[in-house]
Amino acid sequence: MLEFGSGNSTFWYARRAGSLVSVEHDEAWYRTVAPRLAKLPNAEYRVAEKRSAYLDVSEDGPFDLIMIDGAWRDDCARFAVAHLVKGGAIYLDNSDKSAGEHTGNVPAARRLLIDFAERSGLPWEEITDLAPGCLFAQRALLVGSIAEA
């Protein structure tokens, strides 16, 4: 499994995935999470503050599940469609965000993933949920099937 952007869910994934590569762009947040994540032997945690280094995980793939919940989401979406195993899934969190300096062009990432799903004959769906600690609904996009990944 590959995760762009770490958080509380990183620990949940690490306890359930065979192996997890998680990439974080915020060094301060990385230093907070790293000591706890180091206790989980199947998790590899990396910090990459520069956009060019953020996607430097291709030698670790392809991946069954790719979670996009961090920086430069349009670049992550392009990476994901090229490094997903057949039958895998891609999850774009906060797919209703606009473009931002660190989030990248989220609307472009959403469009790219939907186009990829339709070209590839993969199911896709948009999900509305409440994230922990948030008092508003958020959207996410799932391409493929988590059950298959």
Terminal CA-CA length for the chain: 9
Of 87-96, 111-120, 139-148, where does mean pLDDT reach its minimum? 139-148
Q: Are 90 and 144 in contact (CB under 8 A)?
A: yes
Which band of pLDDT confidence, cut at 50, 70 and 90, is reported for residue 116? very high
CA nearest 37: which of 13, 55, 66, 60?
Answer: 13
CA separation, residue 127 to residues 58, 137, 143 (Å): 28, 10, 11
Q: d(Cα 13, Cα 76) in Å, to the nearest integer?
A: 18
Rg over CA atoms, the chain: 14
pLDDT mean over 76-91:
95
Q: State yes or no: pLDDT of 119 exceeds 80.
A: yes
Give domain 2-144's CATH architecture: 3-Layer(aba) Sandwich (3.40)
CB-based burial label for 39 (10 Å; 0-12, 13-18, 19+): exposed
pLDDT mean over 29-50:
93
The vertex-131 CA angle with 61 and 114, nearest 5°, equals 50
User: What are the domain boundaries of the chain?
Assistant: 2-144
Residue 133 has a pLDDT of 67
The vertex-59 CA angle with 56 and 63, nearest 5°, equals 95
Q: State yes or no: pLDDT of 108 exceeds 50.
A: yes
- Which one has a higher pLDDT value, 74 or 7? 74
Q: State yes or no: pLDDT of 149 exceeds 60.
A: no
- To the nearest whole number, what is the mean pLDDT of the chain? 90
Residue 125 CB contacts under 8 Å (≥ 6 apart), including other chains:
141, 142
pLDDT mean over 125-136:
78
Residue 147 has a pLDDT of 62
